[in-house]
Structure formats: C-alpha cells, structure tokens
Amino acid sequence: MFQNKIKTREALAELCEDFRAENKIIGFTSGAFDLLHAGHVDYLEKAGQLCDVLIVGVNTDASVRTYKGENRPIVQEEYRVRLIAALESVDYVFVFNERRNQKNIEALKPDLYIKAGDYSKDRLTSGEIIEKYGGEVRLIPVEQSISTTDIIQKIMEGSNQSSERFVEHEKTVHIERKPDKPGPAVFIDRDGTINKEVLYLHEPEQFELLPNVPEGMKKFQDMGYRIVVITNQPGIGMGYYSKNDFFAVNRTMLSHLSKAGILVDKIYFCPHSKSEKCDCRKPEQALINRAKEELNLDLSRSIIIGDRTGDMETGRRAGMTTILVRTGFKGEDDDYPGEPDYRAEDLMDAANWVLERERDEI
C-alpha cells in the first residue's frame, strides 16, 4: 500500500542506516509538487533510475506559501504527499516545514542529492555538505517543459469569474488585476536592463531586447512574481520626446515579451527631469507606493532589478531585495553608495539566483 511509503524524516533517517549497511544507493529530492503533472512524473522516474532507494521530501503548505505566495499551494500537503507516494518510482515520502534542505540532508545523508536541470551545479551550496561525507549532486535535464503556474493561468483565463478589468489611461489600455492577498513582485528597470541602452530612446525601431531577458522574466513569472516595469524618463520633461513616443516604445517591448508568454502587470514611469525634484523619480518612492496599493504587493518579498545605483537605492528604501545587472550602466553611475544583494550578468542569471535562494536551497 502506498500509505506505507509515507514516513517521518526521523523514521527515514533510521531506515537510511539500514540501507547503507546493505550498500544501497540512496537518492533524495524535494519539491512542492503542487498540481502533479507529467513534468513531475518524468523527473521522478529519472531520479528513481539513478538510485536503489528514492526518498522525496514534500514542502508543507506553510513553506510553499513563503515563496509561492498566499494563494499557493492549490493542493493541500496531505494530498500532495499521497500522490507522490502513489508513484512507482518513489520509495518513500515525508513532509518538511523548512524552506531549504539543510536539515533533510543532514538527517538522511543521501548518496545522491538530485535536482532538476534548471539549477546550476556550481551554485548549489548544499553540494559542499553532500561532498563532505562522500555524496554527490546529480542534475536531471528538464525535458517536459510544463509549469504549474501556466496550468493555473490557463484555468484562470477560462474562468468566467475573472477579477480582471480593462482600464484606459493616457490613450493606452491595460488589464488591471488585484489579488485578494498581498504577493511579491519583481520591479524591473527598462532601459539598460530589459533593452539595450539608447540615449533618450523614443523610436520603436531602435528598441532591442538584451540577451536572456524573455527567459529571465518568464522564470520570475513562473515563480509567482508579478512583473512590474519601473523607469525614469526625463527625456519627456526635457522635451526630447513625447509621452506618445514613450508609449510607442512600450508597445514594441510588450509585443516582444508577449511572444514569450510574459504578462507585464504594469508599467510605471516618471516623466520629470531631475531638476523638477518630483516624488516619483527613482529612488523616490511614489511609484513604488502606488504599485504596492494598486497591485496589492508585499514589498518585503519583492525584488528590484536595474543597471543603476539609483535602482538599488530605490529598492533599499522600499525594503526589497536588490539585484544589479552587468548590462547598461552596470552600476558605474556611482550616484548612490552601497552594495546590491546580488550582482547578476543579466535577467536570467538574476532569476536563477532568486530561484535557488527562495526555494529549497541552503
């Protein structure tokens, strides 16, 4: 019976001693496994082929909420555990309340710590713990590109009970969505972070996405982050171009991003020059506070990404995680002191760092 596969971590630690005495290879992996799908099944089948005993840790509901938001998981932990236990490839299952795997690894001491291929092996700090007692990290390439977030999005799109509404402002139309509970967002600077830096960019034909931008933004979206673009546009206040020129560039940007399945929740911009001393120009907080109210955001769980020190100062004042990308100005403007929480090569590198930090890594 699959119920016999469900154990406590403490009980499995004792069983692992017996498995080691029998020279069996113990494999361990973990995850939320919310809305179990073919990608999960494919991954666990391949993991089971690497070892004699495959043990799977399943995040509790409380731990999933810490990195997926208050609306997740969809399926309660007691049912997620039973579904995983019912798979032939899985030998044992347990639930754990920590966000990361340090206690699991120290208790089980698996021979193989198995992760999906979207992780970077050289960044897995847990690998150092494994290697100290002779274990090994194994990465399994992701072949079934299926996302629980995408499944949920399709369900929402097909629902008649939508909380979305169309809003017209400044001759543009956008869809406004406000969730019931506060959630995280990633605030992304535009010029130099999303697209190639062009002085006073106002011609759509000059717009050019930087490498790995769609992939990075999609990964943030799949992690449950709202996507918010926030940008200073002093060229408008200085008369170099109009708001309509700015909107035209944005339409080109949104067209590129939508082809990659990316939904930008809102674009906030400051049209004033520095001399106007407004309260919306980054690093001032007017736009951040407006986004917090309009999108119901939890800033303490949110992230800001940009290529200038002003972006980092904006995030620090708001209590967000700050990531400086080595594109555009690369933080060499020196307008504000202080180090970001992370220096990323690009948006994809930033997303990978956040994924490893926010999910179950040490």
Q: Does a structural domain hold residue 154?
A: no
Two tokens at 187? 């605030």
Per-residue pLDDT at 21: 96
Determine, yes or no, domain membership for 293: yes
Looking at the structure, do residues 77 and 179 belong to the same domain, yes or no? no
Q: What is the Cα–Cα distance from 178 to 164, expressed in whole angstroms?
A: 8
Residue 148 domain flag: no
Same domain for 278 and 209: yes
Q: Supply the pLDDT for residue 241.
A: 95
**Number of domains forming the structure of the chain:** 2
**Spatial separation of the C-alpha atoms in residues 92 and 53, rounded to whole Å:** 8
Out of 77, 106, 140, a domain closes at: 140
Could you give the strand order of the β-sheet that contains 342-344, starting from the edge strand earlier in sequence? 266-270, 226-232, 185-188, 303-306, 321-325, 342-344
CATH number of the domain that 345 lies in?
A: 3.40.50.1000
Tell me, yes or no, whether 68 and 190 share the same domain.
no
Strands 226-232 and 165-169, bridge-based pairing = unpaired
CB 133 within 8 A of CB 122: no
User: Residue 16 belongs to what domain range?
Assistant: 2-140
Q: How many CB atoms lie within 10 A of CB 79?
A: 12
**Do 186 and 275 reside in the same domain of the chain?**
yes
Distance CA 64, CA 67 (A): 6
pLDDT tens digit string along 9-63? Answer: 999 999 999 999 999 999 999 999 988 888 899 999 999 999 999 999 999 999 8
If asked whether residues 344 and 223 sit together in one domain, one would say yes
The gap from C-alpha 274 to its chain's centroid, in whole angstroms, comes to 33
SS3 for the chain, per residue?
CHHHHECCHHHHHHHHHHHHHCCCCEEEEEECCCCCCHHHHHHHHHHHHCCCEEEEEEECHHHHHHHHCCCCCCCCHHHHHHHHHCCCCCCEEEEECCCCCHHHHHHHCCCEEEEECCCCHHHCCHHHHHHHCCCEEEEECCCCCCCHHHHHHHHHHCCCCCCCEEEEECCEEEEECCCCCCECEEEECCECCCECCCCCCCCHHHCCECCCHHHHHHHHHHCCCEEEEEEECHHHHCCCCCHHHHHHHHHHHHHHHHHCCCCCCEEEEECCCHHHCCCCCCCCCHHHHHHHHHHCECHHHCEEEECCHHHHHHHHHHCCEEEEECCCCCCCCCCCCCCCCEEECCHHHHHHHHHHHHCCCC
Give pLDDT, residue 160: 43
pLDDT of residue 161: 43
Asked if residue 240 and residue 124 are part of one domain, the reply reads no
Ranges of residues in the chain whose predicted pLDDT is under 70: 117-125, 142-180, 359-362
The predicted structure's pLDDT at residue 251: 95
Q: Does 157 reside within a domain?
A: no
Q: With respect to residue 211, please indicate whether it lies within any of the assigned structural domains.
A: yes
Q: How far apart are CA 35 and CA 71, in angstroms?
A: 13
Residues 6 and 93 in one domain: yes
Judge whether 155 lies within some domain: no
* CA separation for the pair 13, 10 (Å, rounded): 5
Is the distance from CB of 324 to CB of 306 less than 8 angstroms? yes
213-222 vs 148-157: helix axis angle to the nearest 10? 80
Identify the residue whose tokens are 């100005």.
329
Are residues 347 and 255 part of one domain?
Answer: yes
pLDDT of residue 141: 80
Verify that 121 and 216 share a domain, yes or no: no
